Amino acid sequence: MDDGQEAQRAKNHELWEEQDTQLRSHTPPRLDDGRRLIRIFAEYGCDLPLWESFTDHYVIERGALPISSELEDALVAWNAEWDGSALEGDLPHRDRWLSEGRSLTNRLRTELHGIAEIRPEFED
């Protein structure tokens, strides 16, 4: 990782800490601008790789967000690819998988514009 990437990672983590503080101070958890915070990262044993911290529904289930079924299906497939290979210790085509994750993040940002901040947590 080069210095620019490391600086961006540090900047992201600083922003994330600030956002988490905002979420803890509102009921229901919301950022200061009223939006929800949705995290995206792959995990074993779930359909959607989407999470909402500090809520009763930490794991986001299908149909819980106003996103297209095509995007839901793509997120499920992306998570399943990770789930199916991560147990083996290495993700084949990791660069392609990361690129697809970034694309899915952008699609989420578009479909949830004004509703949620999308935090990608799959590259750390």
The pLDDT tens digits of the residues spanning 47-62 come to 999 999 888 778 999 9
Q: What's residue 114's pLDDT? A: 97
Closest CA to 76 of 95, 61, 93: 61
> What are φ and ψ of residue 50, in 5° steps?
-120, 140
Token digits of residue 15: 């922003």
Domain span at residue 71 reads 3-120
Sheet holding 36-40, edge to edge: 50-51, 36-40, 116-120
* DSSP class of 59: B
pLDDT digits (tens, 9 = 90+) for 83-110: 877 666 677 788 999 999 999 999 999 9
- Number of domains the chain is built from: 1
Cα torsion through 56, 61, 67, 69, rounded to 10: -170
Q: What's residue 53's pLDDT? A: 84
Strand stretches in 3-85, DSSP E: 36-40, 50-51
Q: Tell me the pTM.
A: 0.81
Average pLDDT, the chain: 90
Token digits of residue 81: 């690819």
